[in-house]
């Protein structure tokens, strides 16, 4: 089953959807670069806040694939030997 993780960017800070701070950067460009390098994709932009004009909230998500739970094959399996027939 596919699991989606969500984050949002406000200014220079990256948050979880619950509002916990994930990282704080010196500038917004650094934050964008980090999100892109970690596999986050932009999915929505919230309009600017009337209290803080010009500041938008950017929503990101990324797909986290489930880890394989298969056990590695360690036992040797017999193979059939093909005999070469003389001509």
The answer to whether residue 75 scores a pLDDT higher than 80 is no
**Mean pLDDT, residues 30-37:** 95
Comparison of pLDDT for 30 and 82, the residue scoring more: 30
> How high is the pLDDT of residue 40?
95
- The two tokens of residue 51 are 């209290």
Residue 30: how many other CB atoms lie within 10 Å: 13
> How high is the pLDDT of residue 28?
92
36 band by pLDDT with thresholds 50, 70 and 90: very high
Q: Rounded to an integer, what distance in angstroms lies between the CA atom of residue 35 and that of residue 86?
A: 65
- The two tokens of residue 50 are 């009337």
How many contiguous H segments (helices) and E segments (strands) does the chain have? 1, 5
């Amino acid at each position: 089953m596919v699991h989606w993780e969500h984050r949002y960017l406000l200014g220079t800070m990256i948050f979880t959807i619950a509002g916990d701070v994930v990282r704080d950067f010196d500038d917004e460009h650094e934050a964008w670069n980090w999100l892109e390098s970690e596999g986050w994709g932009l999915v929505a932009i919230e309009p600017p806040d009337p209290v803080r004009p010009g500041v938008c909230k950017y929503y990101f998500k990324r797909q986290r694939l489930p880890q394989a739970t298969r056990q590695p094959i360690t036992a040797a399996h017999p193979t059939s030997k093909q005999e070469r027939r003389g001509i």
